[in-house]
Structure 1
Amino acid sequence: MRSGGVAHIAGVFEHPRREIPDRTLAEIHAEVAAGALADAGLGFEDVDGFLCDSTAPGWSPLSMAEYLGLDHLSYFESTESGGSSYLQHVGHAAAIAAGMCRVALITLAGTPRSDRGRVAGRGTEGPETGFEWLWGFTGPVSQYALVAQRHMYEFGTTSEQLAWVKVAASRHAKHNPHAFLPQEVTVEEVLESRLICDPLHLLDCCVVTDGGGAVVVVSPEVARALPRQTVEVLGHGETAKHTGNGRADLIMTGAVRSGPLAFAEAGVTPRDIDYASIYDSFTITVVVTIEDLGFCEKGRGGAFVADGALEAPHGRLPFNTDGGGLCNNHPGNRGGMTKIIEAVRQLRGEAHPALQVPDCELALVHGTGGSLATRSGAATLILGRSGR
């Protein structure tokens, strides 16, 4: 289903707290939903489409629709692909073009920081478990470290180059009053931080936060009636990468397919992009994603990100100006939602003044879910500043 030009993002909201032990997941969903709808100038009574992931409490969209008082739903879904889910949700809101709904609400909430110490069950019963967990391939850090090791082996990428991703994120986060890690760091400090899984250090890893976010996607007709500046969904692509029954390409991500689909639908190329929100679960995630999206040749990602290339407002590819998952927020261990929100801020001209990209008209958002080394979901959005 085509998404380009048939839907607008009218409202966004990111929960300001990073540790929320006094709220239930349902309450966090409700708070971010109310914030995004208020940002759009709409109310719960206007919503006729609702999208969330499978971690939403109860029967996901069914339970949450009742809790939120969404009495007029004509479309709902709970597509699940980890951190890339919310980009897929925005793309699926192209259902608006088919007349299935006019105002779609997308929410995320999670409390992994408050819940630390509890046993998480996701992934413990997958068909791959008996083959991979037996050998200690159990956590995301080890899997992403394997990607980093392979990239270094094939292309000569260095830990210093990876560290520049964190440095850029930290220089952005210092301007964000809500950032979990607002302190600027240096390349040396990243390399001196504790080694978690060779070659990834502590500061190569994303933060763990509670929180949530929400996005409101509306039809062009609704957008025209709103006083709020909207952001147009110009292109959308999604795909899944897996191991190929043991023949995995460790350094290839789903972006090699989702990116071209989104660029083609929007009718633009990587050279046209003014700002990029790129999933940054680890520093290596950014490097390989930038390559696979076509911003540089394969193997050149390390050199591309070095020496401030990712810094706003004048870097080669300004990225994650809220501080990203590396420094600002990674609610529910899922970073796709906040990537959408910051891209909307940039296109509206509402980013921090020190980081606002001049004349920002086109933004790319990319989300990754799962593990780059094995199986993952990938989704790419091209967003544009509305003409009105």
Structure 2
Amino acid sequence: MSDLPHFQRAWRVVARGPPSKALRLESDLPIPTRIPPGNALVKVQAGGLNPVDYKLMKLLPNFAAGRPTIAAFEFSGVIVDGNGTEWQSGDNIVADLDPRRTFKTKQGALAEYVFVPEKNMVRRPERVTPIEASGVLLVGQTAWQALFHVGGLSEDGAGQTIFISGGSTAVGSFAIQFAKAKGYRVIATASGKNEQYVRDLGADEFIDYTTIDLRKYLVDNPLTTKYSLFLEAVGTLDNALLYLYSQKFLVPGGVFVDVGPQPKGVGEIPKLAKLVFGLIRPRWLGGVEQKFRVFSAEPKQDDMKAIFTLIAEEKVRPLVDSVFEFGDVVKAYERVMSQRATGKVIIKVDPTAD
């Protein structure tokens, strides 16, 4: 470590608000020199941006978020100090920093150097570039865990069909690919402009949600064999309320998995109350038999390895919408917030990264 510079550039979250107000680029932040046991020091090559980044900036007060903290949670990089872990200097890795952990450590992806727990990393396959790899793990693990852990799907989907609401979202895009890689038939929704994108990911059938009443479609057009799982990858309360009708389209014991219903304002409180009432109402009073699950993904090295094995085998492809230079982080977040990105928005932290 003696040949490392003493200071680095980093984007830190210093206030509550949108990225334009919350973020500050610093050029004289000390590089970590005291690396906690079980952590390795990594030189960051590229970082992936996610909606959770700016939502936490806008939602959490400074004291709750431990600010100032370095922004973003996933990245690709190179080990510069293994610090007694399983990792060696020069190893090419991809990492997922748990947002809850960053509140304590102040570490984040949008810095030139960061220390990372050894179990929060996986080796980057040679055929996958740092840019491609940097945006995989956070949404990839969300999709993987939604399907195979929370949703209870097996890794042999022969003869089974699942429904993905929000197939063009980052989570939905990976979920389509994972499900197809395991043999499932996939029906997915998105707006009409993203039909080809969703079909290219492998969706067997496409539904333009802007032209139909999705509840009416699901209730009035039951499959001969019902869906094994419904994944709501958008986070809207309107789609979450579909759960109340799920006996019509989910198999007995099927699971309705939601990435997290997100009310847009006080006007949606009645919808949220209706959903909550539906969740607690017993079956003999008209309650729903099928399971409703909301979850938050956690870094799991076995899941990371499974995901990158599929990528290395070219059964799943990384999804990059756009790449921004390190100085253009605010513009990059504007792209994420536009909700027009198909794939991940990536920051090139190391200008030599490909």
TM-score range (shorter-chain normalised) is: under 0.3
TM-score by length of 1: 0.25
Indicate the structure with greater strand content.
2
Higher relative contact order structure (alpha carbons within 8 Å, sequence separation ≥ 6): 1
TM-score by length of 2: 0.27
